[in-house]
Structures are given as structure tokens and as C-alpha cells.
Structure 1
């Protein structure tokens, strides 16, 4: 397993027919560069809800942040072991706590211009769901994004439908508690991914991002020294 680094997130994603929620591990990779950024606050600003990406009323005592950091290291490693076709990074949430971001290419998840999950994607989501069910104190945000191809209106609707398709499969088929997923919505052409020369990386822009961060229950356990 590669060593995990905290990833920088710039301003302001999952792939056998008929499979349910399997437990077979995949071979995903943990990646990261640079220092952390407050992705949770950014998510909140985009969604118009400052509670997104942070437990409401969270107060993190001395040493609790370190315990949460170690726990999220385990979550990141578990995610990378389960997810073959996603990019796993460690980021920072609105509380300044370590969180995990998983990015899935829409080309793996969906047919072009559609929001029904492809058969292969369901296997990947099934394995990913094990991480969520094994870590009930995680909160989850799901965000859909589109490239600049097509109209803003079409891309907004498509990205929103795709984010909610991922949520629906995790909840309705894989048994992830609906209360664990705090947000699922699309952001259309917001936050396009660019190449080094400033041109758009269209393939990278088409994605679903899933954020895993500490709930108030996890923070309470950490404050009490009870989080492993």
C-alpha cells in the first residue's frame, strides 16, 4: 500500500451484471500531492449550506484531531483496497479535520449522456459500499460534475441525476443508510479540470466526487479518546 499524503483540492466518482454488494477487495490506489485545503468549507459554499462537509456544532479537543486523522488514514487505505477504478485522496474538511475524497470517472459509471449506472459500475459501487457500512460514523457528500460540452442547463441536470444515481444504488441496493449520505447533488460545469496549458481536460471534468468526513458522533468518540 502506498503511503498516503494529504491532497490539495482546487477551487470551487464507479465501476458485474446482477452483482449485489460484494466483499471482494479491489486494487485502488491512494494518491496525493501538496498540503490540505478546506474542501468541506468549499463544498458548503457551493451547496449553499455551511453544514456540508462539517459536523454541526463540532468542537474538537486536544488530541482528538490526531485520532480522527489516524482513523481517516485507515478509511483511505480501506477505500483504496476496495475501489479499483477510482482515485483516493486525503483532504481536509471544514472543521480542519482529515477527510477522504474518492473521484470516479463518469466514463466508468455511465454511458455518454446518460445517468443509468453501467453494469460494471455496480460492482465497484458494491465494494465501495463496504467502506461506508464498516464505518458508520462517516458522513458522505456525493457531487456530480460535467465538462463544458453541451449547454449549462443540460449539464446541470445530468450531473445532478448522476450524483443521485450513485446515492440511490448505495442506499437501495447496497444497504447504506440514507442518513449517512448528507448530500447528493450536481454542480454541472462548475470546477472544470484543466491541463497544464490551460485547456480543459474534458475527460477529467466528467466525474463524480465522493467525500467521506467525520460525523459529530466520530468527533465525540475522538474527544472521549474512544476512536480507534
Structure 2
């Protein structure tokens, strides 16, 4: 490692302090660069090796190896707000495995009770996806009757598992202007939140985001692709109470 030596007696105090400040800034930059490199390496490893892991094992590895900051970076690089929310809050290790087992149980319950939903177990969380065609008419924000049934069913599970927080993310295809799509996605997410609250879910557990057409999961040049991109994702993650329980399990 390169060493920096300065002769204090040979330099006026002001110049000495300035040079020392530059050296400190250089070291801080190197540390940030190293941290960013680790994040990229973690993203690469996750992309190439995660297929061989179970969802619970993946959550354990992600949290233990990456932590919240790097996890959030991975989610951002992937263009996936839902995944970023899960990885960003992951504990990892034994605590993460405890949370993962709880999420396994709730995911199975949702699959059995909400037939209109696609349920994905991911790390220390759950992503529940609804095709917007199930929830809304085209370019509308009023929930369809079948949508209310689905959200009622999901809300029942959320109320049975109060130690979680829920992020509702609205998405659109790229038809129309970016501003219109963003507004539509926000209002649809808010509509789902409002109905879940009416169904008895504690409002303090619910947050919303609208992503417009910025996070497509399919080809917007095809009808089928646009249909897939018009969706609402409901992300279920551990709240502080569950995390504290998980940490106690890890210590004991």
C-alpha cells in the first residue's frame, strides 16, 4: 500500500491541512469504489448461481453476503422495485432463514386462497402479482368486482400475518405518454391500498409506488407483452417485530 509522508515543519500549517484533507478524500473514494465493486460482484454471482438455491436459502445468502445497501443496489440495477424492497431489507443468516420459513407458509396460504394471483417467493419476502386486466378496465382506476374478491382474499391472509409490511407497486405498458402512465400506475396502486384498508388491513402497514412504464417484464411491441406489463405487484416483507423475533432466534 502506498504511504503518504509529510514533513510538517517544512510546510505552512494551512498547506499541510489542505494536503491531508486531499489524502483523506482519496482514501474515502477508494473505499466507496471498493464497496461498489463488491456490489457488482454480488449482483453477478446472484445472477449466475441463484437458480440452484431454494428461495429461503437465497434470502439467507443475499442478506448475509450483501446487506441492505448492496441489496437495494442489486434491485435497482435489475430494474425491479419489488425485488429491491425485499433484498434491501434482508437480514440474512439464521435470522433471514427464520423469516424465510414464515414467508414460505404465508406464500403457500396465499396460493391456496387467492386463485387470481401469481405468487412468487423471493428471498425474505413474497411478491403477489395481479394482471391489471383482472383488477381494472383499460385506462381505468376503479376496481372490477373480481378484483375486489381477490383483494378481499389476500387481505384475509395479510390480517392473519400482522408482522409484515406491504408495498403496492403499479405498472403500465408504454402506450400513451410517460406522464400519463406514471399517474395511472400511482392511482391504481392507491386504489388497491384503499380497498385493502377497507377490508381491514392496517393502513400503517401499506405503502404505494407507481412506476409507470419504466419496469417492463415483457416486450411492449406485442399485445401479450403489453398485457404482462400492465400489472400490480404486492410485496410482502418482514416488519420490525418479525425482524426482532428473528434476531432473537439467531442469538439463542
Q: Which residue of 2 aligns with 1:102?
A: 128
Q: Does 1:73 align with 2:98?
A: no
TM, length-normalised to structure 2:
0.64
Deviations 1:11-60 (A, max 9, x none): xxxxxxxxxxxxxxxxxxxxxx7765879723799899xx955787x866
Q: Which residue of 2 aligns with 1:179?
A: 204
Q: Shift in Å at residue 217 of structure 1?
A: 0.9
Q: Is the 8 A contact 1:53 1:141 kept in 2?
A: no
Q: Write out aligned runs for 1:1-228 (5 A).
A: 41=72, 42=75, 53=86, 63-92=94-123, 98-171=124-197, 173-181=198-206, 183-195=207-219, 199-200=221-222, 201-225=225-249
Instruction: Flag the structure with more relative contact order, 1 or 2, with Cα contacts below 8 A and sequence separation at least 6.
Output: 1
Choose 1 or 2 for highest CA Rg. Answer: 2
TM, length-normalised to structure 1:
0.70
Q: Is the 8 A contact 2:127 2:236 kept in 1?
A: yes
Going from structure 1 to structure 2, the CA distance change for 1:44 and 1:213 (only over 3 Å counts) comes to: farther
Partner of 1:160, secondary structure, is helix
More strand per residue: 1 or 2? 1
**CA distance in 2 between partners of 1:120 and 1:34 (Å):** 37
Q: Shift in Å at residue 63 of structure 1?
A: 2.1
Structure 1 residue runs of 5 or longer lacking an equivalent are 1-32, 93-97
Q: Shift in Å at residue 224 of structure 1?
A: 1.8
Q: Shift in Å at residue 168 of structure 1?
A: 0.3
Structure 2 residue runs of 5 or longer lacking an equivalent are 1-50, 63-67
Going from structure 1 to structure 2, the CA distance change for 1:151 and 1:123 (only over 3 Å counts) comes to: same
Cα RMSD, aligned residues only: 3.2
**CA distance in 2 between partners of 1:146 and 1:132 (Å):** 25
More helix per residue: 1 or 2? 2
Q: Shift in Å at residue 216 of structure 1?
A: 1.4
Partner of 2:142, secondary structure, is coil
**CA distance in 1 between partners of 2:205 and 2:152 (Å):** 16
Task: Kindly tell me the number of residue pairs found equivalent between the two proteins.
Answer: 182
Partner of 2:133, secondary structure, is helix
